[in-house]
C-alpha cells in the first residue's frame, strides 16, 4: 500500500514509534512516582503550607500526586480516594487516563507550552473544528480562551457590541457565570461580590420551578416586563440549561423554548453558558440535547474542554479589536480537549442512548435503591447525564457539610451545589465503571448512616 502523505494535522500518535516512546515515558513516570510518598506528618504539613500560602483553608486536606486511575485519585501520602467531582467537573476520563496522557506527552514535546492567537498551531485548528462540528448549523465561529470566565467575558463583549448602546443583560435567579468583576454581578450570589462595585444593569428572571405549574408563565411575564420597560436597552439573556453552582436545576425544553422565543421576538441575544454542562448532558452542548439550536446566538464552554471557547453565529462576529488576548490555550490542553471530543464521538458516549445518558441512568438506579433503604436521607434528585445531585435530608448547609467531610474521611470526594436546599453533587468521569459506582455508593451509604447518628437525624 502506498504511504500516505502525512501533514502536521495528522496525529503524531498514529506513529507506533512515537506512541511507544510516550507510553514508555509515562510508565517510567508512574513507576517512579508510585514510590514517592509523604509521611502522614509531612503530608499534613504540606497541606497546611498550601493553605497558609494561599491565605485560606482548603475545602479538603488534599494534595494529589501521580498514579491516579479512573475515578480514583492518589494523594501525596500514597492513599487513594474515589473522586466523583474531578476538579469541579474537569476530568472527562478521570485520573491518569493512558490515552489522554499519551496525547498530552506528545503535545507537550511538540513545541511551545502556550499558543497565542497570533501564532495558532495545528492543535488550535483541530480544537476549533471539533467544537464547531457539534455546535449546529447556525454557529459558525469559535474563539478560544483559557477559563470559563474569560469565555463569558468575551461573550458579553460580543453581545454588547452587537446591540450597542444597549447596556443591560438578563440572567436567571441562582445563576453562576464566573469570577471576574462583571461576571460576579451576573452571578446571583451576593456573597461572591461583597465589597465590589456594581452597575445595576443585570436583570433577573426566575428559573423553572417544577413544583409550580405556572412557572413558565411567570418567568415569561417577568422577562416580558423587563423587555417592555427597557426597549433597546437590553443586549441579551444568558442561560445555564442545567444550573451548575446554583444547584443542578433542570427545566423542560418548552420552558427554554418559550423564553428564547421571546428573546428572539425582542431582538436580543440568546447566550447559553455551557461551561459546566459541556459534554455532561449527552451532547457536547446542552442546547443540542434539548433541541434548541434554532434559538442560540452565542455559546460558551469550558471545564471538560481543558480550556474554554466562545462560539457564535456569523451575525455576532465582533469587529476587529474587540476580542483578542495573548493566550488561546496551552498546547496540551488543546490537544487533550480535541482528543476528548474525538473519543466521545468514536466510543459511543454521545446521543440519546449514548454512554453519558446511560451513566446518568446507572447513577439514578443506585440513588433509587439507596432511597428505598434511607428514604429520609435521600431527598429530591436533579441533574442530567453525568451531572447529578440530591438533597440530603432537608438540605441544611450544616448537614451537607457534615456529609462532605465524613465522605472524604471515608474515601469519597463529593461537592455541594446551591443553597436552600444545599445539595450534594456528582460530576463523575464519563467512563465511570460499575465497580467505581458500587464502591462510591457503598461509601455514601456508610457516610449517611454516620451523619444520621452524629446529627441525630433518622434515615
Ligand atoms: C456555568 C459556569 N459558568 C462559568 C464558570 C466559570 O468558569 P471558570 O471557573 O473556568 O472561570 C463556571 C465555573 O464553575 C460555571 O459553572
All residues at 6 or more sequence positions from 2 whose CB lies less than 8 Å from its CB, including other chains: none
**SS3 category, 234:** strand
Q: What is the pLDDT of residue 5?
A: 87
For each of the chain's 459 residues, which pLDDT tens digit applies?
Answer: 556 789 999 999 989 999 999 999 999 999 999 999 999 999 999 999 999 999 999 999 999 998 899 999 999 999 999 999 999 999 999 999 999 999 999 999 999 999 999 999 999 999 999 999 999 999 999 999 999 999 999 999 999 999 999 999 999 999 999 999 999 999 999 999 999 999 999 999 999 999 999 999 999 999 999 999 999 999 999 999 999 999 999 999 999 999 999 999 999 999 999 999 999 999 999 999 999 999 999 999 999 999 999 999 999 999 999 999 999 999 999 999 999 999 999 999 999 999 999 999 999 999 999 999 999 999 999 999 999 999 999 999 999 999 999 999 999 999 999 998 999 999 999 999 999 999 999 999 999 999 999 999 999
Which burial class, exposed, middle or buried, applies to 372 when counting CB atoms under 10 A from its CB (0-12, 13-18, 19+)?
exposed
Q: What is the best residue among 91, 207, 244, 327 to mutate for testing ligand 1's pocket, by most ligand atoms within 8 Å of CB?
A: 244
- For residue 148, the CA-to-ligand 1 centroid distance in Å is 5
- For residue 381, the CA-to-ligand 1 centroid distance in Å is 22
CA 391, 396, 400, 405: dihedral to nearest 10 degrees? -160
- For residue 439, the CA-to-ligand 1 centroid distance in Å is 29
- Say if CB 288 and CB 296 are below 8 A apart: no
Q: Which atom of ligand 1 is closest in space to residue 88's alpha carbon? A: 14
Residue with the smallest CA separation from ligand 1 atom 5 is 178
- For residue 436, the CA-to-ligand 1 centroid distance in Å is 27
Give the end-to-end CA distance of the chain in Å, rounded to a whole number.
67
Q: What is the pLDDT of residue 340?
A: 98
- For residue 147, the CA-to-ligand 1 centroid distance in Å is 8
Q: Which atom of ligand 1 is closest in space to residue 276's alpha carbon? A: 16
Residue with the smallest CA separation from ligand 1 atom 10 is 148
Domain ranges of the chain: 16-89+352-454, 107-346
CATH topology of domain 16-89+352-454: 3.90.1150
Cell of 13: 500518535
- For residue 197, the CA-to-ligand 1 centroid distance in Å is 21
Q: What is the pLDDT of residue 376?
A: 96
What are the Cα distances from residue 377, in Å, to 65, 259, 428, 440?
34, 35, 21, 16
Name every protein residue with a CB atom under 6 angstroms from any ligand 1 atom.
Answer: 88, 147-149, 152, 176-178, 240, 244-245, 273, 275-276, 302
Residue with the smallest CA separation from ligand 1 atom 3 is 177
- For residue 373, the CA-to-ligand 1 centroid distance in Å is 35
Strands of the sheet with 423-426, listed across from one edge = 378-384, 387-392, 423-426, 415-417
Q: Which atom of ligand 1 is closest in space to residue 244's alpha carbon? A: 16
- For residue 308, the CA-to-ligand 1 centroid distance in Å is 10
- Say if CB 376 and CB 391 are below 8 A apart: no
- For residue 421, the CA-to-ligand 1 centroid distance in Å is 21
Q: Which atom of ligand 1 is closest in space to residue 152's alpha carbon? A: 4
Residue with the smallest CA separation from ligand 1 atom 16 is 276
- For residue 273, the CA-to-ligand 1 centroid distance in Å is 9
Task: State the architecture of 107-346 in CATH terms.
Answer: 3-Layer(aba) Sandwich (3.40)
Q: DSSP for 164-196?
A: TT--EEEEETT----SSHHHHHHSS-GGGGTT-
> CA–CA separation, 75 vs 92, rounded Å?
19
Residue with the smallest CA separation from ligand 1 atom 13 is 178
Q: What is the best residue among 275, 309, 387, 418 to mutate for testing ligand 1's pocket, by most ligand atoms within 8 Å of CB?
A: 275
Q: Which atom of ligand 1 is closest in space to residue 303's alpha carbon? A: 10
In the block, residue with C-alpha cell 457564535: 312
Q: What is the pLDDT of residue 4?
A: 74
Amino acid at each position: 500500500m502506498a504511504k500516505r502523505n502525512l501533514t502536521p494535522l495528522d496525529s503524531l500518535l498514529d506513529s507506533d514509534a512515537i506512541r511507544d516512546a510516550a507510553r514508555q515515558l509515562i510508565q517510567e513516570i508512574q513507576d517512579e512516582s508510585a514510590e514517592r510518598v509523604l509521611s502522614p506528618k509531612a503530608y499534613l504539613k504540606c497541606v497546611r503550607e498550601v493553605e497558609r500560602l494561599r491565605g485560606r483553608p482548603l475545602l479538603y486536606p488534599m494534595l494529589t500526586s501521580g498514579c491516579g486511575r479512573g475515578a480514583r485519585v492518589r494523594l501525596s501520602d500514597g492513599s487513594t480516594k474515589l473522586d466523583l467531582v474531578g476538579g469541579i467537573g474537569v476530568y472527562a476520563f478521570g485520573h491518569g487516563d493512558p490515552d489522554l496522557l499519551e496525547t498530552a506527552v506528545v503535545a507537550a514535546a511538540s513545541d511551545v507550552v502556550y499558543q497565542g492567537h497570533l501564532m495558532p498551531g495545528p492543535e488550535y485548528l483541530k480544537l476549533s473544528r471539533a467544537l464547531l462540528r457539534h455546535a449546529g448549523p447556525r454557529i459558525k465561529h469559535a474563539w478560544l480562551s483559557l477559563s470559563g470566565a474569560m469565555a463569558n467575558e468575551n461573550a458579553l463583549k460580543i453581545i454588547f457590541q452587537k446591540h450597542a448602546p444597549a447596556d443591560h443583560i438578563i440572567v436567571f435567579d441562582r445563576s453562576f457565570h464566573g469570577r471576574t468583576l462583571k461576571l460576579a454581578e451576573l452571578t446571583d450570589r451576593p456573597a461572591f461580590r461583597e465589597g465590589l462595585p456594581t452597575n445595576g444593569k443585570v436583570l433577573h428572571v426566575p428559573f423553572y420551578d417544577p413544583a409550580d405549574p405556572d412557572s413558565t408563565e411567570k418567568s415569561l411575564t417577568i422577562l416580558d416586563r423587563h423587555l417592555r420597560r427597557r426597549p433597546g436597552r437590553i443586549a441579551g439573556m444568558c442561560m445555564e440549561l442545567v444550573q451548575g453552582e446554583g444547584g443542578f436545576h433542570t427545566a423542560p425544553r418548552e420552558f427554554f423554548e418559550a423564553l428564547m422565543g421571546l428573546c428572539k421576538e425582542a431582538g436580543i441575544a440568546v447566550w447559553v453558558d455551557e461551561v459546566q454542562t459541556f459534554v455532561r448532558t449527552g451532547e457536547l452542548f446542552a442546547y443540542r440535547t434539548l433541541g434548541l439550536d434554532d434559538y442560540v446566538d452565542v455559546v460558551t464552554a469550558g471545564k471538560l474542554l481543558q480550556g474554554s471557547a466562545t462560539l457564535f453565529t456569523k451575525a455576532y462576529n465582533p469587529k476587529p479589536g474587540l476580542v483578542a488576548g495573548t493566550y488561546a490555550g496551552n498546547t496540551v490542553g488543546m490537544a487533550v480537549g480535541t482528543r476528548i471530543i474525538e473519543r466521545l464521538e468514536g466510543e459511543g458516549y454521545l446521543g440519546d442512548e449514548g454512554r453519558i445518558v446511560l451513566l446518568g441512568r446507572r447513577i439514578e438506579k443506585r440513588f433509587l435503591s439507596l432511597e428505598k433503604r434511607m428514604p429520609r436521607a435521600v431527598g429530591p434528585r436533579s441533574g442530567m447525564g453525568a451531572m447529578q445531585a440530591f438533597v440530603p435530608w432537608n438540605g441544611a448547609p450544616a448537614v451537607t457539610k457534615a456529609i462532605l467531610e465524613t465522605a472524604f474521611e471515608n474515601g469519597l470526594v463529593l461537592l455541594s451545589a446551591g443553597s436552600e436546599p444545599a445539595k450534594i453533587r456528582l460530576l463523575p468521569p464519563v467512563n465511570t465503571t460499575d465497580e467505581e459506582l458500587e464502591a462510591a455508593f457503598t461509601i455514601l451509604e456508610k457516610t449517611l448512616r454516620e451523619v444520621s447518628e452524629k446529627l441525630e437525624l433518622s434515615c
